[in-house]
Amino acid sequence: MDDLETFRRQAHAWLQANCPPEMRQPVQDDDDICWGGRKFRFRSQAQRQWLERMAERGWTVPEWPREYGGGGLTREQAKVLREEMQRLGCRTPLQSFGISMLGPALLKYGTQAQKQQHLPPIARGEIRWCQGYSEPNAGSDLAALQTRAEDRGDHFVVNGQKIWTSYADKADWIFCLLRTDFAAQKHTGISFLLFDMETPGVTTRPIVLISGKSPFCETFFDNVVVPRDQLVGEIHGGWEIAKYLLTHERDMISAIGSRGFRQPLGQHAARIIGTDEAGRLDDPMLRAQIARFEIDEAAFGFAGERVRDLARQGDGIAAFSSVLKYYGAELNKRRHELLMSAGGSDALEWESERSRQGATARAWLRTKANSIEGGTSEIQLNIVAKRILGLPGA
């Protein structure tokens, strides 16, 4: 305990001294998020500095081993670090699918050489990854995927199409599920490969959404040559890795339910609508809705902490990531409905400068995808029914 308190004091002092003031402001929109990668353009010098300082200390991935660019912190220390960052309002220095999804899978299933090649550049924000799972006929039924990797001994030749590949046009590398055995049962003929998006034969085509933004792409592979040493795990053994990675993806997405570094909704609404003589939000109906929301948001935060504590003790239930993903998605949708209500007709502005090009409305529309990405809500409920509640025939 004393050690943890000492660590808390040291972490607090270091964050105070090293987090630039601009990086202690709430994130305004997607462009404020640092994704890293070869194509990433920093929004400010402060954003670059914050990433570099945190990466240097290993705190972009606090719990990863030091040899792979991590901070080597225990889970308890990492929790303290998160708390201190929250207390000071420090932004996450780097967000990436490499950190949230591929990293944990490589730490568990990668060879020593794969870990050494891929983990440090992820920790430093040098390489950005995308996820090649879904295909036009394989989404909820992911194991039906047909994009093939032909085994040619020292390399594979990949052909086919992925879809909904988030940020494929901005990513440097892809982690991909591919069929390597067409005769086997569908779950047993899949392999997990990594390759550079600049490999000849890889092309991407952005898909534009209702928000006018394009967070994802169609991704095509035409005789893409992938060296054998980029096969993770056993040949045809990719499904186990895919499922493990999905639990991390769901944990990542569930974080949208937490307030994180955002301003409390009640304060935000009061700034727009104003307050009555008692200092309360001057709209009783909205006030009640926001109060209900903030209670649920706090309860969700506690539930998440409890799940992580259980996992720390070795009592975690992998399927619980589905509970958090389902509820986190619902909360985020509610949050943005309430932000729209608070904003009134101004929130519907689309292309004006004062609305930051319709940031509120576009973010609200973006949340419509929360209950689809990372596995739909119906699929999460099926998993909860089957693996947690043990219901028959679900």
Ligand X SMILES: Cc1cc2nc3c(=O)[nH]c(=O)nc-3n(C[C@H](O)[C@H](O)[C@H](O)COP(=O)(O)OP(=O)(O)OC[C@H]3O[C@@H](n4cnc5c(N)ncnc54)[C@H](O)[C@@H]3O)c2cc1C
Q: Which residues bind ligand X (CB under 6 A)?
A: 130-134, 139-140, 164-166, 215-216, 369, 372-376, 378-379, 382
Q: Judged by CB, which is closer to ligand X: 59, or 97?
A: 97
Separation between Cα atoms, residue 169 and residue 161, nearest integer Å: 15
Residue nearest to ligand X (CB): 139
Minimum CB distance to ligand X, residue 156 (Å): 19
Q: Judged by CB, which is closer to ligand X: 84, or 135?
A: 135
Q: Judged by CB, which is closer to ligand X: 130, or 194?
A: 130
Separation between Cα atoms, residue 12 and residue 18, nearest integer Å: 10
Token pair recorded at residue 154: 């020292």
Minimum CB distance to ligand X, residue 224 (Å): 17
Task: Supply the residues annotated as catalytic.
Answer: 249
At 257 the three-state DSSP class reads helix
Give the distance, in angstroms, between the CA of residue 65 and the centroid of all CA atoms in the same chain: 21
Q: Judged by CB, which is closer to ligand X: 250, or 334?
A: 250
Q: Judged by CB, which is closer to ligand X: 130, or 363?
A: 130
Partners of residue 237 on adjacent β-strands? 190
Position 44, amino acid: S
Separation between Cα atoms, residue 152 and residue 252, nearest integer Å: 36
Separation between Cα atoms, residue 199 and residue 102, nearest integer Å: 19
Q: What's the distance, Cα to Cα, between the start and end of the chain in Å?
A: 45
Neighbours of 161 (CB within 10 A): 18
Closest Cα partner for 235 from 304, 189, 269, 300? 189
